[in-house]
Amino acid sequence: MRKTLFISTILVLNSFFSFAQNRIELVANDCSQENGFTMFLLDRAKPKILTEQKFEQEEKYWNNQKKILLNYSDIIKIEYTNIFGQIIDTTFTNAQELNEIKICVNKFKDYEKKSLIKESIKNDKSWILNSTWGHQTFESDKLILKPKKGFLKYKYYKNGKRIKRGKIKITESIIEKIALFERKLNLMKNADNSCNFGINYNLNNEIEKINFQDDSCSGFSNEHLLSDLKIPI
């Protein structure tokens, strides 16, 4: 009788825990894109679960990894590597109601760094960003920002031809957008070498020149800066 009661209790508990568990698929997501598409796949994000959940299975498809975790808690904490090579941790609540978790691989952890655009404005020097590809053989585009009388006069070149020119009023917001791009660009030298079609960035403010090679194929681009500055391309 006791043995039967014990077995029945175990079965009830197993049924309870099975019922309380939910399967959640982990997805790499570019949260700056409406459709979330990214070439930065899960195997490069290297996600780790910091809470007690475990990955149930791992399936390979199209050089990506499909990761599914078995959850039995309201809170999940995950650590992963972003496109800039930084370690990010994020927490998800109400996890028992989820069947999918999207990790923002473009999420950026800010830090302090000297700003070249601030030096340019202070010293009336041009801020020049150009990108090249093919072992720096072919120039893709160039953006020139020249401070003058409270404005940044810009010239934008594509494939060696000037296609846009104009001016942007210098504000704290504009300066911070450019400085933030600089800080993100600086981290691309730490990004993983996962792309055969790397792009080389040269940043020059006539005081200092910096060269960055982005071999990550992560979706990072100077087009983000052009969009922030409302420079049509």
Gap between the Cα atoms of 156 and 166, Å rounded: 9
> Are residue 93 and residue 54 in the same domain, yes or no?
yes
- Summarize the confidence of residues 31-36 as an average pLDDT: 88
> Are residue 95 and residue 128 in the same domain, yes or no?
no
- Summarize the confidence of residues 76-83 as an average pLDDT: 95
pLDDT for residue 10 is more than 80: no
Nearest to 201 by CA among 219, 182, 227, 218: 182
Are the beta carbons of 109 and 90 closer than 8 angstroms?
no
Number of domains comprising the chain: 2
pLDDT of residue 12: 46
- Summarize the confidence of residues 112-124 as an average pLDDT: 95
State the residue range of the domain holding 52: 21-104
14 domain residue, yes or no = no
Nearest to 159 by CA among 135, 130, 181, 202: 130
> Are residue 58 and residue 146 in the same domain, yes or no?
no
> Are residue 38 and residue 87 in the same domain, yes or no?
yes
- pLDDT category at 48 given cuts 50, 70, 90 is very high
pLDDT for residue 197 is more than 70: no
Neighbours of 183 (CB within 10 A): 16
pLDDT of residue 58: 63
Q: Angle between the 116-123 and 172-187 helix axes, to the nearest 10 degrees?
A: 130
pLDDT for residue 64 is more than 60: no
User: What integer best gives the mean pLDDT of the chain?
Assistant: 84
Q: Quick one: which H or E segment has residue 104?
A: strand 100-104
> Are residue 210 and residue 162 in the same domain, yes or no?
yes
Which of 46, 80, 104 finishes a domain? 104
> Are residue 209 and residue 149 in the same domain, yes or no?
yes
> Are residue 129 and residue 224 in the same domain, yes or no?
yes
pLDDT for residue 214 is more than 90: no
- Summarize the confidence of residues 121-134 as an average pLDDT: 90
Which of 57, 72, 104 finishes a domain? 104
> Are residue 87 and residue 42 in the same domain, yes or no?
yes
> Are residue 96 and residue 151 in the same domain, yes or no?
no
> Are residue 77 and residue 158 in the same domain, yes or no?
no
pLDDT for residue 16 is more than 60: no
Q: What CA–CA distances, in Å, run from 143 to 93, 153, 167, 224?
A: 43, 10, 12, 13
pLDDT for residue 78 is more than 60: yes
pLDDT of residue 173: 97
Neighbours of 106 (CB within 10 A): 21
- Which residues does 231 contact at the CB level (< 8 Å), separation at least 6? 143, 154, 156, 164, 166, 168
pLDDT for residue 195 is more than 70: no
